[in-house]
Amino acid sequence: MAVEEQVVSIFAGTRGFIDKIAIPAVTRFEASMLSELKARAPQILQSIRDKRELTPETEKELAAFLGTFAGTFA
């Protein structure tokens, strides 16, 4: 897994975006989240990859993306 994908996965876990996901579904959530992120907001991953950090702007954009995604994950 690429470093920027690891950053996103850790962010999702530490910021509570997977708190309501059943443990058996966490792997599916992560795979779906990364797939959706690559398709809908690749600039987030690109920013993390290029800048080698999670800037406040990217963090805000990522949190918004995850909030929407986690709310629609079934």
What are the pLDDT digits (tens) for 20-52?
Answer: 999 999 999 999 999 999 999 999 999 999 999
- Across 47-60, average pLDDT: 97
- Asked whether the beta carbons of 25 and 1 are under 8 A apart, the reply is no
Decide if pLDDT at 15 tops 90.
Answer: yes
Q: Which residue reads 């530490």 in tokens?
A: 14
pLDDT, residue 66, reads: 97
Cβ atoms of 58 and 44 within 8 Å: the answer is yes
- Which residue type sits at 28? R
* Confidence at residue 74, expressed as pLDDT on a 0 to 100 scale: 73
pLDDT at 70: 94
What pLDDT is stored for residue 42 in this prediction? 98
For the chain, what is the total number of helices (H) and then of strands (E)?
4, 0
Instruction: Read off the DSSP letter of residue 73.
Output: -
- Stated as kind and residue range, the H or E segment containing 8 is helix 3-14
